[in-house]
Structure 1
Amino acid sequence: MSTTQKQHLTAAAALAPLLALALAACGGQKGSGAGDGGGSDRPDLPVTGVHWAVDSVTVDGRKSAAPPGSHVEIDVKGQATGTYGCNHFNAKATVDGDTITLRDAGMTEMACPEPVQAFENALKSALDGTLRAKLDGDRLTLTTSGGDTVQLTEQPPAPLVSTEWTVDSLTEDGTATSLPAGARGKARFVFGEDGSVRGTLGCNRFSAKAAVDGGTITFGPAVTTRKLCPGAGMDLERALLKVMTGKVTYTIDDRTLTLTAPDGTGFAANATAK
């Protein structure tokens, strides 16, 4: 064997371990396409820590627009919370690449008027099990194995001032109850930069001073119109005016405002989508 041949053999022997490592690395890489048998290395979609407002749900080919306040949030600890349309829910959530799995859901049991109840039933059915997720800018589409879809839009947290708040439920000692029949979505108000609050109590319009200090709001006497209202409207107005009297505490959880009076009664309101 010539000297040149021996040098080639020696070089090949030295390169063999490096080639083996390179081939092993290539062979260990997983494809990202369906049917490659190697799983997926696609990163998880950035859907956690976001307030996703539900726009619509399509079940069995029938599309229904979402009522105000319907939303979903998934935190980094694997918990999903939100509102189906009337009732609040929580569930275990897993994000894996472009799939989201929701399971073991629990919910409140408030009575919901139609057509909110029908929407809630449809959304509850869709938000169960493993869903294929598609993210396009600030829009998220979730698709069930049966082809039903949920359309959602990312919404930023809402500030207290200059946001239109729509009353969603009455509360007592932290427990939510549904609004009187026929009163849902009718009570709305806005805190102004001038230290005022104005809007509608469900029937009559009102205005009052509202001094914000840390986590409290001190309401001055309310000035209201004097229209005669149906029973449900008056019941809601009385409840809201009772809360918005004097000094109350408030919290904002992303796009939900909760006001609580010293006696534990209060109400929750959602930021109106723009």
Structure 2
Amino acid sequence: MLKTRTTAATAVLASLVVLSACGTQKSGADPGSGSGAGTVAPDVPVTGVHWNFETVTVAGKESRAPDGAHIEIAASGRASGNSGCNGFGAEVSVQGDTVTVKQGQGTEMACPGERGAFEAVLQKALAGAMKAKVEGDRLTLTSPDGKNVVALTSEPPAPLQGTTWTVDSLLSDQTAASLPKGSEGKATFVVDKDGKVRGNLGCNRFTATAKVTPTTLTVTGPVVTTRMICSSPQMQLETKLHELLDGPLSYELGHRSLTLTGADGEGFAATATAKPQETPTAPKP
């Protein structure tokens, strides 16, 4: 089960957040007189954008971000994101291009291998005030001494239909739980525009007909699958997803996130695949 708490590490992690709010007065400008009267230095325009981490450089060593590492910034001053393993949130502000973090919260899951290594590097890179610069679809955050650099790129929102979604957690009464260990990244699906849902339930490929409204997705025909036998965690996830597809599901679509829940509050969450991938061929009925 995911746990949320405020930690110094997640506060540091969240320091990449840049809030685009109102303009700030230029240092030394007299608003009442002189040629610079009334001139403002606008904050870096980054709100309402899904920023993917690309690389983090610490003391000349560059680390590439894992898929799913991102940050989204709301005009309200709230921001949320993911380091590639743990989610985080923050209340932040900015003056011109200088980032200031007020507080941060984050989940506390173990991050093995490259994901854990990247999260640790990201925390080091964002240990203090950062200067932000936006050029086209690219955002760069640099420490005052220039030794730490975080590079991000913007990504457009993902539509419900035609996107490859990867299941990343199970839901129960709005509480998220990790997938069975060993089944992570196995379950994917696509909602086609022709009324089909297809993909993989964790072990077996599947296809089914479905009806989509602005708020619900309902499987209207039998879920047809292949007949492979996989590891226990994969089969456990597959059984759960198969049960969840038996009935109408209410969905909420985020920038690149999707949650589907039944009337009993049981459901699952998924994330849009960061990079295009070949969709598995659906089995024949």
Q: How high is the TM-score relative to the length of structure 1?
A: 0.80
- Equivalent position of 1:244 in the other structure: 245
**1:47 positional shift:** 0.4
Partner in structure 2 of residue 204 of structure 1: 204
Residue pair 2:92, 2:103 contacting (<8 A) in 1 also: no
Which residue number corresponds to residue 255 of structure 1? 256
Task: Name the CA shift for 1:115/1:27 in 2 (closer, same or farther; >3 Å).
Answer: closer
Checking the alignment, whether the CA contact within 8 Å between 1:51 and 1:155 is kept in structure 2 is: yes
Partner of 1:159: 159
- Aligned AA (2:181): A
Cα contact 1:84–1:124 (8 A) shared by 2: no
Identify the range of structure 1 (116-125 vs 190-199) with the bigger mean alpha-carbon deviation: 116-125
The one-letter code of the counterpart of 1:70 is A
Q: Which amino acid aligns with 2:189?
A: F
Distance change (3 Å), C-alpha of 1:203 and 1:51: same
In 2: Cα distance, 1:183 partner to 1:211 partner? 28
| Deviation (angstroms), 1:191 | 0.6
Contact 2:79 2:89 in 1 (8 A): yes
Task: Confirm whether residue 168 of structure 1 aligns to residue 197 of structure 2.
Answer: no
- What is residue 42 of structure 1 aligned with on the other side? 41
Equivalent positions of 1:22-37 (< 5 A) are: 24-26=33-35
User: 1: CA distance between counterparts of 2:143 and 2:244?
Assistant: 42
For residues 50 and 42 of structure 1, the distance between their equivalents in structure 2, rounded to whole angstroms, comes to: 21
What's 1:81 paired with? 80
87-96 or 61-70, which moves further after superposition?
A: 61-70
**Greater RCO, CA 8 A, separation 6+:** 2
Separation in 2, partners of 1:101, 1:227: 52
Task: For 1:189 and 1:208, locate their aligned partners in 2 and report how far apart those are by CA, in whole Å.
Answer: 11
**8 Å contact 2:85–2:116 — kept in the other structure?**
yes
What is residue 8 of structure 1 aligned with on the other side? none
**What corresponds to 2:66 in structure 1?**
67
Moved more, 60-69 or 164-173: 60-69
For residues 180-230 of structure 1, the C-alpha deviation after alignment (integer angstroms, 9 at most, x for no partner) is 223222222111011111112232211111211231111133111111211
Equivalent position SS for 2:227: coil
Secondary structure of residue in 2 paired with 1:198: strand
For 1:237 and 1:124, the matched residues in 2 are separated by 35
SS state of the match for residue 133, structure 1? Answer: strand
Cα deviation, residue 86, structure 1: 2.0
Structure 1 residues without counterparts, runs of 5 or longer: 1-20, 31-40
> What value does the CA root-mean-square deviation take over the aligned residues?
2.4
Confirm or deny: 8 A CA contact 1:102 1:128 kept in the other structure: no
Partner of 2:13: none
Structure of larger gyration radius: 1
Number of residue pairs matched?
A: 243
Q: Secondary structure at the match of 2:207?
A: strand
Distance of aligned partners of 1:61 and 1:184 in 2 relative to their CA distance in 1, 3 Å threshold: farther
1:97-116 superposed matches below 5 A: 97-116=96-115
Cα 1:123–1:27 shift into 2, 3 Å: closer
Contact 1:111 1:178 in 2 (8 A): no
Does the Cα contact within 8 Å between 1:170 and 1:266 map onto a contact in 2? yes
Determine if contact 1:181/1:232 at 8 Å carries over to the other structure: yes
Q: Measure the CA separation in 2 of the matches of 1:177 and 1:73.
A: 22
d(CA) in 1 for partners of 2:218, 2:228:
26
Consecutive unaligned residues of structure 2, counting only runs of 5 or more, are 1-29, 276-285
The residue number in structure 2 matching 1:54 is 53
In 2, Cα distance between the equivalents of 1:223 and 1:113?
Answer: 35
Contact 1:93 1:101 in 2 (8 A): yes
* Comparing 52-61 and 160-169, the one that deviates more: 52-61
Per-residue CA deviation, residues 41-60 of structure 1 (Å, 9 max, x unaligned), is 43111101111122232334
Q: Give the Å deviation of 1:237.
A: 1.5
Q: Identify, as 1 or 2, the structure richer in helix.
A: 1
Distance 1:202 1:144 in 2: 42
Superposed displacement of residue 24, structure 1: 4.2
- Cα offsets for 1:160-186 (capped at 9, x unmatched): 000111122222211222222232222
